[in-house]
Structure formats: structure tokens, C-alpha cells
Amino acid sequence: MAAQSVAGWRKLPLSLTELCIDTTLKCGQSFRWQHINDEWHCVLQGRIISLKQDPSYLHFKATWPEASSRAPLTPPVSIKSESPLPPGTEDEDGTASLLHSYFALSHSLAALYEQWTASDANFARRAPAFTGIRILNQDAWETLISFICSSNNNISRISQMVHKLCIHYGPYIGTVHGHKFHDFPRPDALTGTGVETHLRELGFGYRAKYIAETARIVAKERPSNWLDVLRNPGCPAYDAPVRQRDGQRPSSENDAKPRTYKAAHEALLELSGVGPKVADCVCLMGLGWGESVPIDTHVWQIAQRDYKFGKGGAANKTLSKTMYDAVGDYFREIWGPHAGWAQSVLFTANLKSFAAQASSVKKEVTLETKSMVKKEEVKEGQALAKVESISEAKKRKTVIKRDAEKLEDVKIEMTEIKESALRRSKRRKVVGS
């Protein structure tokens, strides 16, 4: 086994409201991250990235294969200029810049959540339980194959399939905590004559044909930077300048065409096994088109339950192409140019695997509400007791006042009787004399 070069832990200042890796890395965007010993691990750009997080920092380290012919990458100039790292961040091997690009940290997530909360009451209700969910800026090829695997599948099985692709067709990078890590295979690694059969044996089913056919098209019938040309120019791939420097041929006339989300979506639909949903997933998570809104069964349920789409019963349970476009356009209208980011928050909130997270926040809110009500009741009780005390005091004061007045009346009456008796006594004395 080749020796490994392991860098020490470094950190990026980053709050949990800007990024929560425990949610973002397991909500169905990337399927290669492994959670081992309270750390997240994945191969990115030829190195094993290890992550852990506290409320103030994202901690990271890189494990490089010592014998690899691929030296640590210098951060591309485009990344340095467009997304500067916080002052003092150690980045001698480009890993900090890679993470800045991968997690799309040039966007303020707090500002986006504020915008979506203001424009959508449903988002405002559900988002507090799911802060820190970002859309990953991933490798387009990996995203494409991963979401071909997602057809009629769940996150766990997709992860298993992607893991098998890496083990059987991707290069070995290193071992962390006793676990071997392989990189994702490039297109030409999946073009062999026996690939489809082998993938079927590994349990890929009908998806095996789609993967093999798409790999053949991308590797042999498209320019080598074809996926880069489909990418949002405002969200470049981290290693695009490196690939161009390494001599990959341009796509000539395609480079001159204007880049739009719709154009990228249509181009992806030409591939085997790629429908509207898969194309939107690739556009959003692999090509940087934030307005792309993938509509799967979860999002369709959300659209029907929370936004009143598809009224009319069983006839509308099937999502037609017209309805698919209508739902996407509606979400783009209320959420804006990063509609796909907002969709991912509601998508995550709708997953059964995150039900406890949602309910725990609801319980906290409920308990907090009950506590507030209890406090208000106590305050009201105290106020009422005070009022009653004042009232009783007033009553007592009134009684005392009345008693005093009565006593005074008695005194006056007694005085008058004494004076009357004295006058009568004086008169009798006068008469007798």
C-alpha cells in the first residue's frame, strides 16, 4: 500500500447557519461522503477531504497519496479572485479554496433564507428546523452519473451504487480510519465492452445500460470540456483552469453559444437515462444553475400539499411534462434566481430520515410556547392577585372609614345628648329658684 501524506487540521470561520455539514452532506446531493468517527470523509480533486464542525468553524484536513503523479493543485486564479478566503486561512495545497468552491461559500445563505422567508410563508414555517443547507458545486460528470442512478431509487441505495462505481472503476487514493477511498471514475473508465454486464451483476439493473451508454457518448462523441461549456459561467468548476492547462481540447463553436439554464437542460436530455428531473439535478448541483428546480416525488408532494398544485384527485397524481414545467416556473417566481437552493431545504424537510429533526424543533417551539403561556399565566395570576389584594385593601379601608364615620356620628350624638341634658338641668334650676 502506498504511503500517504496527511496535512494537519485547519479551519475556516463558518457558522452553522451558513453551512451545516450534517444536513448538507446527507440530503441527497452527493453520495460519496462517509461519516466515520464523527468526521465526514470524501475524495475530492485527488485527495481525501476530512471534515468536522463546531458552531464557529469548519475544520478540515487533506490526505494525499504520496506516490500519486498528481501533485497538490494550486488554487485556480479564477477561484482566488472570485471567492477570496478569510484573511489568515492556511491554503498551501489549495484545499481551503477547493472547499470554498465546493460549498459555494461566495453566497450568503443567511441573506437567501431571509429573502425566501419574506416571499413564502410555507418556507418561513419549515426553514427554522433546517438552516445551513447549501447547494454543492460538484463535478458535473459525477453528478450526472449519480443522478442516473437515482431513477426510482432512494438515497441509501444510490450511495451504495456510487460507492461500487468508485471501488470497481475509480483510482485508489488512500485509507482513513481503516476505510479505503477511491475517486469517482472518469468517463473513459466506464466505456469498456463488459461494463454494462458487470454493473448489472453489481445490482444496477436497467441503470447499467444508461450509465455505459452515457459514458460512451460523453467520452467519445462529445468534446472533452462539453460539460464545462454547459456550466453557469458565474459558477465555474474549481479545476476548469487546470483541465484547460493540461491540454484538453476546446469545443470550438459550442463555446461561442450563450450559456443558459434552458440550453444546458436541453443538451443533457440528449443523453441516455436522462429525463427532466435528472437534467435539473445536474444543472443545479453539477453545473451551477441555481434557478434549476428538480421535481421528484418529494417535491411533487410538497407542491400538491403546500402549494395546491394538481387539485382534482387521482387524475393528477402523475406529474406530466406540462405540470413539471408549471411547478418549476412557480417556484422560480416566488424564490428567485436561487430557487433550487430553496427547494433543497423543503426537499430535506420532507425526507423521512430528517423527520426527527423537524419534530424536535416543533417540540422545542411547542415547549417554548407552553413556557411562554405558563409565564403569562403566572404573570396574569400575580397581577390578578395584586388587583384582588388592592381591592381587599380598599374594601377594608372603606369599612374602616364607614366605622369611623359611624363612631364619629355616635360621638356627635352623645355630645348632643349631654348638651341637651345639661340645658334641661339648667332650666330646672332656674324654675326652682
- 277 classed as catalytic: yes
The contacts of residue 399 (CB under 8 Å, 6+ apart) are: none
3-state SS, residue 50: strand
Distance CA 82, CA 101 (A): 10
Question: What SS3 class is residue 13?
Answer: strand
* 11, 26, 61, 277: the active-site residue: 277
Catalytic amino acids? Answer: 277
